[in-house]
């Protein structure tokens, strides 16, 4: 059984901004609320179950998994210690509330990945604290509003690429372009191309300690990306790949090694 937790920020899906997590000056709130209401409607049109609910509905169809969906507005920011310590793979979608996640929670996630938990960051989660802590870079990139995207499979033998064609298309997706400030990936499994001419390392993996990390670019909240069968298959494959092959370690430590009496290095 793989215990999967989907952490979904949810802020943009709410009808009005949650000012506990989004800091907006008083003189800008009316304008922001109108924009927010329009975006919230568009998300609900694209995802009648909600974006987080759509991900949960699909992932729950996998064999031998248990899926929990949590959101930022829940107690303890959705991830109390007891839930985090039961999680084998943490799937993270976030956009406008990165700073609302406490550093100590992000460090707990980082620690559990180092001990063996899998971590999958989707789309605008490139700026989430857990990923930035794990990678040690700004994770910034270039972006603009929607464009046509063609995604190429550039590491076809990787487990995450199984069942995915040489390329597939998304009629509309937010453009993310290079330079993407990340450390050199272990593998660049997918590369995106946009009609504006931009390219992007859209599917990257890293190993951190005993844990596996995957970042996947497509998934703007108002686009129907998470209805695309190839995108969903990639997420499913990534969960299987990132799931720990052995029990997650209780802690990371440097083991003491006894030196044999015959060793020339013995004092």
Residue 213: is its pLDDT beyond 80?
yes
The verdict on pTM exceeding 0.75 is: yes
Residue 192: strand pairing partners:
151, 200
In the prediction, which pLDDT does 264 show?
61
Domain boundaries along the sequence of the chain: 2-136+202-242
pLDDT, average across residues 86-99: 96
Would the pLDDT of 156 be above 70? Answer: yes
H/E stretch holding 93 reads strand 89-93
Q: Averaged over 63-91, what is the pLDDT?
A: 97
Tell which CATH architecture fits domain 2-136+202-242. 3-Layer(aba) Sandwich (3.40)
Q: Out of 25-39, 145-159, 172-186, 203-217, which region has the weakest mean confidence (pLDDT)?
A: 25-39
Q: Would you put residue 116 in left (φ > 0), alpha (ψ -120 to 50) or beta?
A: left
Q: What is the pLDDT of residue 237?
A: 98
Neighbours of 41 (CB within 10 A): 12
User: What's the confidence (pLDDT) of residue 265?
Assistant: 56
pLDDT digits (tens, 9 = 90+) for 199-212: 999 999 999 999 99
Are the beta carbons of 167 and 153 closer than 8 angstroms?
Answer: yes
At 189 the pLDDT is 98
- The burial class, CB within 10 Å (0-12 / 13-18 / 19+), for 151 is buried
């Amino acid at each position: 059984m793989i215990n999967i937790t989907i952490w979904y920020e949810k802020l943009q899906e709410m009808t009005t901004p949650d000012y506990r997590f989004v800091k907006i000056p008083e003189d800008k709130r009316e304008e922001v609320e109108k924009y927010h209401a329009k975006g919230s409607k568009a998300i609900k049109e694209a995802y009648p179950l909600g974006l987080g609910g759509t991900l949960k509905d699909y992932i729950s169809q996998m064999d031998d998994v248990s899926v929990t969906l949590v959101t930022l507005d829940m107690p303890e920011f959705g991830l109390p210690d007891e839930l985090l310590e039961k999680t084998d793979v943490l799937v993270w979608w976030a956009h406008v509330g990165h700073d609302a996640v406490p550093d100590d929670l992000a460090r707990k996630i980082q620690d559990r990945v180092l001990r063996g938990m899998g971590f999958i960051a989707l789309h605008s989660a490139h700026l989430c604290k857990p990923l930035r802590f794990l990678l040690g870079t700004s994770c910034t990139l270039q972006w603009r509003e929607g464009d046509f995207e063609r995604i190429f499979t550039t590491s076809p033998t990787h487990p995450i690429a199984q069942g995915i064609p040489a390329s597939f298309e998304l009629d509309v997706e937010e453009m993310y372009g290079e330079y993407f400030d990340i450390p050199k990936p272990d593998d660049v499994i997918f590369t995106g191309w946009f009609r504006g001419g931009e390219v992007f390392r859209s599917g990257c993996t890293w190993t951190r300690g005993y844990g596996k990390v995957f970042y996947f670019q497509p998934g703007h909240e108002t686009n129907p990306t998470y209805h695309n069968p190839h995108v969903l298959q990639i997420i499913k494959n990534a969960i299987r790949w990132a799931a720990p092959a052995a029990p997650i370690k209780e802690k990371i430590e440097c083991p003491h090694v006894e030196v044999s009496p015959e060793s020339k290095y013995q004092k």
